[in-house]
Amino acid sequence: SQQGEEDPQALSIQEGENATMNCSYKTSINNLQWYRQNSGRGLVHLILIRSNEREKHSGRLRVTLDTSKKSSSLLITASRAADTASYFCATDAFNAGGTSYGKLTFGQGTILTVHP
Amino acid sequence: GAGVSQTPSNKVTEKGKYVELRCDPISGHTALYWYRQSLGQGPEFLIYFQGTGAADDSGLPNDRFFAVRPEGSVSTLKIQRTERGDSAVYLCASSPLGLAAQETQYFGPGTRLLVL
């Protein structure tokens, strides 16, 4: 099973509203990343949050990380129709030897639809 | 500069045939990753190269799958005796250093493989 689990699986909102997506994971992580994917291709990196960080902002994006709960959230404020896409969280986890190669484990994603 | 490129963009083959998928990473990037994404799922890790060597091939599903990166730049993913279950989008990503350097991975557009 995949490390990251996104919630909800699908989200439909009106333009201008905020969208919140959640991600839970199971093992200790080096960092957690959020990606956007349009039309089943072309993953675009949105934001990377390190395990010792709690919150990060980038434009209209706000990501939080709670390592005690093994969860993260992505907030998109003032959504636009162009934000319609699938959003994935991906964890860079430590292996049994306590190292990390940066290989990412993705969740199943949240499909966001923003209606004009 | 140019991003990650992958060729072909689409590949249709018959069950039992051999296929090669090519990835050109961003120039100078040491780390290269292959992922596979089935419909409606998040990408799944296949193999990671640090330079010319496969540092982690734990995601390759079986011995029909093999990947090389002989000169530390271009990589080829090779699938022998293809099966219908191999149908998926194969994604390649690169990053400057790898080795848990807390880096963004830059993804190519993917190769959509369909095995009939």
pLDDT of residue B101: 65
A10-52 per-position pLDDT tens digit: 999 999 999 999 999 998 888 999 999 997 668 999 999 999 9
CB contact under 8 A, B43 and A106: yes
* Mean pLDDT across B52-60: 90
A58-79 per-position pLDDT tens digit: 999 999 999 999 999 999 999 9
Q: What is the rounded distance in angstroms from the CA atom of residue A73 to the CA atom of residue B60?
A: 30
Name all domains of chain A by residue range, CATH numbers in brackets: 5-115 (2.60.40.10)
To which residue do tokens 């934000």 refer? A83
Band (pLDDT 50/70/90 cuts) for residue A1 is very low
Q: What is the rounded distance in angstroms from the CA atom of residue B6 to the CA atom of residue B76?
A: 10
Q: Does B48 touch chain A (CB under 8 A)?
A: yes
- Mean pLDDT computed over every residue of chain A: 90
Which residue of A4, A30, A102 is in closest CB contact with B31?
A: A102
Q: Cα A42 vs. chain centroid, distance in angstroms?
A: 16
For residue B48, the chain A residues in CB contact (below 8 A) are: 101-103
pLDDT of residue B99: 65
* Mean pLDDT across B38-57: 91
Identify the bridge partners of residue B111 per DSSP, sorted by sequence position: B90
Domain ranges of chain B: 5-103
Per the CB < 8 A criterion, the answer to whether A35 and A109 are in contact is: no
Write b or e for each residue in A69-97: b if 16 or more Cβ atoms lie within 10 A of its Cβ, otherwise e: ebbbbbebeebeeebbbbbbbbbbbbeee
Give the B window 49-68 contacts with A, CB below 8 Å: 50, 55-56, 59
Q: Does B107 touch chain A (CB under 8 A)?
A: yes
* Shortest Cα distance, chain A CAs vs residue B71, angstroms: 20
- Mean pLDDT computed over every residue of chain B: 93
Nearest CA in chain A to B99: A101
Residue B86's region, left for phi above 0, alpha for psi from -120 to 50, else beta, is alpha
Q: What is the rounded distance in angstroms from the CA atom of residue B51 to the CA atom of residue A99?
A: 18
* Mean pLDDT across B76-103: 90
**CATH code matching the domain that covers B5-103, chosen among 3.40.50.2300, 3.40.50.720, 3.60.15.10, 2.60.40.10:** 2.60.40.10
CB contact under 8 A, B104 and A33: yes
For residue A30, the chain B residues in CB contact (below 8 A) are: 100, 102
For residue A101, the chain B residues in CB contact (below 8 A) are: 48, 50, 55-56, 98-100
Q: Indicate if the pLDDT at residue A81 is higher than 70.
A: yes
Write out the residues of chain A at the interface with chain B, using a CB-CB cutoff of 8 A. 2, 4, 30-31, 33, 35, 40-45, 48, 50, 88, 90, 92, 99-109
* Shortest Cα distance, chain B CAs vs residue A114, angstroms: 19
CB contact under 8 A, B39 and A40: yes
